[in-house]
Structure 1
Amino acid sequence: MIRTVIFDMDGVIIDTEPIHHHAFFTEFAELGIPVTEAEYATFLGKSTRNVFQHLKEKYHLAQDVEAMVNRKRELFNKSFDEDAGLDLLPGVRTLIEDLRRHNVLLVVASSASKATIARVFDRFQLRPYFAHIVSGEDFAESKPHPAIFLRAAELAETPVAECIVIEDAANGIAAAKAAGIYCIAYASPHSQSQDLHQADRVIQDFAELNAASIQSIG
Structure 2
Amino acid sequence: MINTVIFDMDGVIVDTEPVHHYAYKEHFKQLNIDVSQEMYSSFTGSSTKNIYSRIKEYFNLEQEIEILVRGKRDFFNNAFDKKEDLFLLDGVEDLIKELHSNGMQLVLASSSANETIERIFNRFDLHQYFTFKVSGEDFPQSKPHPAIFLKAAELAQTSVENCIVIEDSTNGIKAANAATIFCVGYKSFHSKLQDYSSADLVIEHFSELSFDKIRTIKNRL
**Same fold, TM-score > 0.5, yes or no:** yes
TM-score norm. by structure 2 comes to: 0.97
Matched, 1:146 2:172: no
TM-score norm. by structure 1 comes to: 0.99
The CA distance in 1 between the partners of 2:26 and 2:64, in whole Å, is 17
Matched, 1:211 2:194: no
SS of match in other structure, 2:190: helix
In structure 2, the residue matched to 1:44 is 44
In structure 1, the residue matched to 2:155 is 155
SS of match in other structure, 2:86: coil
Structure 2: gaps of 5 or more residues: none
Q: Superposed, which structure 2 residues align to 1:81-160 within 5 Å? A: 81-160=81-160
One-letter code aligned to 2:216: S
**Deviation of the 1:49 alpha carbon:** 0.4
**Deviation of the 1:196 alpha carbon:** 1.0
The CA distance in 2 between the partners of 1:189 and 1:32, in whole Å, is 31
In structure 2, the residue matched to 1:4 is 4
The CA distance in 1 between the partners of 2:85 and 2:56, in whole Å, is 34
**Deviation of the 1:103 alpha carbon:** 0.6
SS of match in other structure, 1:191: coil
Matched, 1:26 2:26: yes
Identity of aligned residues (%): 53
One-letter code aligned to 1:204: E
The number of residue pairs the alignment matches comes to: 218
In structure 1, the residue matched to 2:170 is 170
The CA distance in 1 between the partners of 2:172 and 2:191, in whole Å, is 12
The CA distance in 1 between the partners of 2:40 and 2:191, in whole Å, is 12
The CA distance in 2 between the partners of 1:100 and 1:190, in whole Å, is 26
The CA distance in 1 between the partners of 2:80 and 2:196, in whole Å, is 27
One-letter code aligned to 1:65: I
One-letter code aligned to 1:100: H
The CA distance in 2 between the partners of 1:188 and 1:80, in whole Å, is 21
The CA distance in 2 between the partners of 1:109 and 1:136, in whole Å, is 7
The CA distance in 2 between the partners of 1:57 and 1:72, in whole Å, is 17
**Deviation of the 1:32 alpha carbon:** 1.4
Alpha-carbon displacement from aligned partner over 1:152-178 (angstroms, at most 9, x marks no partner): 000000000000000000000000000
**Deviation of the 1:27 alpha carbon:** 0.9
The CA distance in 2 between the partners of 1:65 and 1:24, in whole Å, is 14
Deviates more, 1:29-38 or 1:174-183: 29-38
In structure 2, the residue matched to 1:67 is 67
Alpha-carbon displacement from aligned partner over 1:157-202 (angstroms, at most 9, x marks no partner): 0000000000000000000000000000111222231011110011
**Deviation of the 1:91 alpha carbon:** 0.4
User: Any runs of at least 4 consecutive aligned residues in structure 1 with deviations exceeding 3 A, and if so which?
Assistant: none
